[in-house]
Amino acid sequence: MVEQSGVKRKLAAILAADVVGYSRLMGADEEGTLKTLTTYREAMDAFIVRHGGRIVGTAGDSVLAEFASAIEAVRCSIEIQQELKDRNGALPEERRMEFRIGINLGDVMIEGDDLYGDGVNVAARLEGVAEPGGICISNTVFDQVRDRIPHDFEDLGEHSVKNITRPVRVYRVPLLEREAAMTGPGASDDAALALPDRPSIAVLPLTNMSSDPEQEYFSDGITEDIITELSRFPDLFVIARNSVFTYKGNPVKVQEVAQDLGVRYVLEGSVRKAGQRVRVTAQLIDAASGSHVWAERYDRDLEDIFAVQDEITRTIVGALVGKLNQTERARAMRKPTENLEAYDLYLRGFELFLRFTEADNAAGRELLEKAVELDPGYARVYGMAAWSHLTDSFMGWSSNPAQSLAQAAELAQKALAIDPSDNRSHWVIGAASLYQGQHERALAGYQRALELNPNDADVLANLGLPLNYLNRPEEAERAIKKAMRLNPHCPWWYYWVLGWSQIMLGRAEEAIASVERIGNPVPACRLISIRAYMQLGREAEARAEVAEVLKAEPDFTLRHWQATQPYKNKEDMAPDLESLRAAGLPD
């Protein structure tokens, strides 16, 4: 910071934004517009703070913020426009609120908490050049971000701007035109996702080349293990298993997969298991150019399968990010078990769990119990068994849900005593703690799970549960949308958590749209629709949803439902209960 003649100055990246057609929106619906503006600004404020920015002013419909980094300012603006586009997608066209954003890097004068000078003025003028929902940056910003943010910037040439002596060269960020308003099931086929700001990869299911089709679980298990190991690296963006397995068994083009999932790199290959020998082929493809970054074939004894997985992981990380440090290398090279029969039982059990039925959940747990007998020190088996008990409790498959939660927590603790880096065991402890009324311990479990595996979309999506029960729906919505980007073809329950967050935020129309994406909603999802319809005064539709809930669960009562909801502050449930009761659900 420079001070001369009593005037303080500094170099800063300035973000200026305002609403397109604000007067028109206010003229049509003052209260609704103010409500939307408030919620949109809250979302913008959160992004600004997260990227290290400071909000300077919010006069009228405008937002002015400063950043120490031009890169963070641009990243923040991209995330803001993506978020607002998602929200606008659920609103009627005449009620959508679009912001224009301009960013400049320049010298500014400081007076108290306010900023003045050409550095600020240029940002404001650039905002005026931007299109609705768009971003324009100055040449000074472009020079800082051009090789550091993997987006295309369109040169709009020099513009003369009011009260600025020299023309300013302006660049537009065009990726917003190609963004999907919502990802996952039901997204439009022609929607495209922007590339993340770090190397991004999708691991396609390895093809089972064995003569025995029953070995499918083995090749799927190898795929899952590679995804899990790659996901641990925060410098990578790794698509979740659920999304890549939608391509299983179908002929695909790498470029189309990459575009669909919004990644630059794709790993594909095959597994052939014969007796005690295994052959794994793998090739890493740069979808942008269609060229092979790396390809290899491994012919090994079956007992070397973990070494093969480790080598594939190390090679990919080395090619896309850089060399592994000593801690990462030690973790990657650690064998989960020396007993191949125990590993085989684990893979078979995991395959059964993914079918998500009560019978398969129980059958999978029996296989894990046999695996423990073979290797009592196999941490991953305890963690998966813990997950099965947790599923029993959540899905209503347990005659004693509290006991199932306790069993889940106990097994997860056993797993962590052997391997503290088992991220899903931390998740199980967090989820079990939530329903045991230990909210802070629950959050700590989720947070530790994400520290160990920042790409774990399911944990990130499930984080919405404790956040909602703590009455923090803005954070819950951000978590679930980030999870949806990691898992574009996500399971139905992601939309349940999203809709729940949206109804808590008072965005009833968006909540209804989220639940509609589920297809055949379970009663828990219909409760969101009931509250949304009641908020909108559409009582007939709310009562139709009530009929569906009682058809699926004839013994449903609000008293029982209330007892199962672990809100930290029970008073937060009052509006929900009042709305559900008014719609006709029995006490």
In tens, the pLDDT along 242-262 reads: 899 988 887 788 888 998 999
In tens, the pLDDT along 95-148 reads: 889 999 999 998 888 887 788 888 888 998 899 888 889 999 999 999 888 867
CATH class of the 476-587 domain in this structure: mainly alpha
pLDDT at 410: 92
200-203 and 265-274 as β-strands: parallel, antiparallel, unpaired? parallel
CATH superfamily of 2-178: Nucleotide cyclase, GGDEF domain (3.30.70.1230)
CATH hierarchy code of domain 336-454: 1.25.40.10
Identical fold between 200-322 and 476-587: no
In tens, the pLDDT along 462-490 reads: 999 999 999 999 999 999 999 999 999 99
pLDDT at 322: 57
d(CA 543, CA 581): 11
Domain boundaries, the chain: 2-178, 200-322, 336-454, 476-587
Is residue 90 scored above 60 in pLDDT?
yes
pTM here? 0.64
Element (H, E) at 281: strand 277-286
Q: Is 111 left (phi over 0), alpha (psi -120 to 50) or beta?
A: beta
Token code pair at residue 501: 């967050």
- Reported as a pLDDT band with limits 50, 70 and 90, residue 354 is confident
pLDDT at 161: 66
Instruction: Using DSSP, state whether 431 is helix, strand or coil.
Output: helix
Q: Say which residue, 50 or 461, is predicted with more confidence.
A: 461
Q: Say which residue, 151 or 513, is predicted with more confidence.
A: 513
DSSP 21-46: THHHHHHH-HHHHHHHHHHHHHHHHH
Token code pair at residue 61: 């419909």
In tens, the pLDDT along 228-241 reads: 888 888 888 999 99
207-208 and 265-274 as β-strands: parallel, antiparallel, unpaired? parallel
For domain 200-322, is the CATH number 3.40.50.10610? Answer: yes
d(CA 220, CA 507): 40
Token code pair at residue 382: 């305890």
d(CA 549, CA 457): 29
pLDDT at 168: 87
99-111 and 63-67 as β-strands: parallel, antiparallel, unpaired? unpaired
Token code pair at residue 332: 């990657």
Max mean pLDDT range (177-181, 187-191, 350-354, 485-489): 485-489
